[in-house]
Amino acid sequence: MVTIAFVGAGSVEFTRQLLRDVLSFPELADVTISLHDVDAERLEVAAALARLAGGAHVRASLSRREALEGADVVVNMVAIGGHAATLTDFDVPESFGLRQTIGDTLGIGGIFRGLRTFPFLDVLAADVLAVCPDAWLLNYTNPMAMNIQYLATVAPRLKVAGLCHSVHWTIHDLSALVGVPHDEVDFLSAGVNHQAWILRWQHEGRDLYPALDAAIAADPELARRVRVDLYRRFGFYPTETSEHSSEYVPWYLRHQSEVERLRLPVRDYATISAENVATYEKTRAALAAGDPPPPLSDDAVEYAPQVIHSLVTGQQRTIQVNVANHGLISNLPDGAAVEVPATLDRLGVHPHRVGALPRQLAALNRSFLDVVDLTVAAAVEGDPGHVRHAALCDPATAAALTVTQIDDLVAAMTAAHGDLLPAALRGA
């Protein structure tokens, strides 16, 4: 039976959600779950929750290589530096006057989250290739595009797919908004993670965009969101939340009037991260007292269990994946991490060729990917100058700060994250 290794299993709520979805498939009832984390307490909490789920064979190890032994699928959900590093990603830029909402994908927060994750990806890739070279590595860790492009560059033999639920929930919510059943909708989405686009969206052959236009016209409050503003100006709906989307362009967060008009919650992810810590503490306390853990959300839907089920059973299904661009989107850079549809089956994950994006969408994606490319290059080449280049080219950062302020911010972030960064970049 299939063995699934969860790396970063101390993200206990996410581990619980994935395990629940895995065990919802009768064909996976006998699965082996191998849990790994570097935090012994969190690992034990995750193991206890996995055993409560029932059905699966559960093992746990503080040794990553031991946890990877025999794995058919490796799920990565590691957050290097945890809550403390997340607060640094917000607090230091804020002291320079730079607003962020999520800070995990692009911008100064995304750049440094990527830089502190890359050293871990180096050792994870080496261990997978040594211990379970035929396993699929399914990555959930952000910044998704940076991590996928980095892995494709340093470990091209790995079988890697990045998974994110943003497209699923965008289509789900838009379909509810226009009053059509989500499971009856046909759509095509492509671009980059957190900045992909709904290129086609239909119900029984009928284009649903006119219905969306009517819904927006009928409710002025809908227009007070970044993703709706982007849709109205660029012609296609973006697949990530307004909080995320605001950080990838230069027009919104720098202006207090736009923050208010578009109801942007500055420092939103800092609050979410603190809530995640509180949820973990509540779960740990419940287990220690012999009480049931807090209930999971009923509507969580993740792609990894679907990938695993298709690998085991051969059932074909289509999901969105993040992979290196080799002829998939013709007007985005070769080798860049892109998000496209993919077919799943027993043989693996098969990305679809989409062709060219509309020019205006590709232009925004290229701006996004320039920051990704420079951040990856900084680590691969050991060049701290590229860290500054990435920050200077980042749209939201460049819109808010002078070049001298950006240089000083990069130096301050480098000092604050210290040993979490690649050694060659600590003098950035």
Strands 73-76 and 3-7, by their bridges, are parallel
Residue 36 falls in the annotated catalytic set: no
Backbone torsions φ then ψ of 328, nearest 5 degrees: -85, -45
Query: Which residues have a Cβ under 8 Å from the Cβ of 414 and sit 6 or more positions away?
Result: 384, 387, 421, 425, 426, 427, 428
Query: Which residues have a Cβ under 8 Å from the Cβ of 88 and sit 6 or more positions away?
Result: 81, 112, 413, 416, 417
Q: What share of the chain is helix, strand, coil (3-state, %, to 5)?
A: 55, 15, 30
Q: How far apart are CA 222 and CA 226, in angstroms?
A: 10
> Partners of 350 in the beta sheet?
343
Is the C-alpha dihedral spanning 179, 193, 355, 327 positive or negative?
Answer: negative
Is the C-alpha dihedral spanning 303, 358, 101, 229 positive or negative?
Answer: negative
Residue-wise DSSP of 137-184: EEE-PSSHHHHHHHHHHH-TTSEEEE--SHHHHHHHHHHHHHT--GGG
Q: How far apart are CA 316 and CA 318, in angstroms?
A: 7
Amino acid at 248: Y
Strands 136-139 and 159-162, by their bridges, are parallel
Backbone torsions φ then ψ of 26, nearest 5 degrees: -55, -35
Could you count the other beta carbons within 10 Å of the beta carbon of residue 247?
Answer: 29
Q: 166 near 227, Cβ under 8 Å?
A: no
Q: Point out the catalytic residue in the list 165, 168, 172, 352.
A: 165
Catalytic site residues? 165
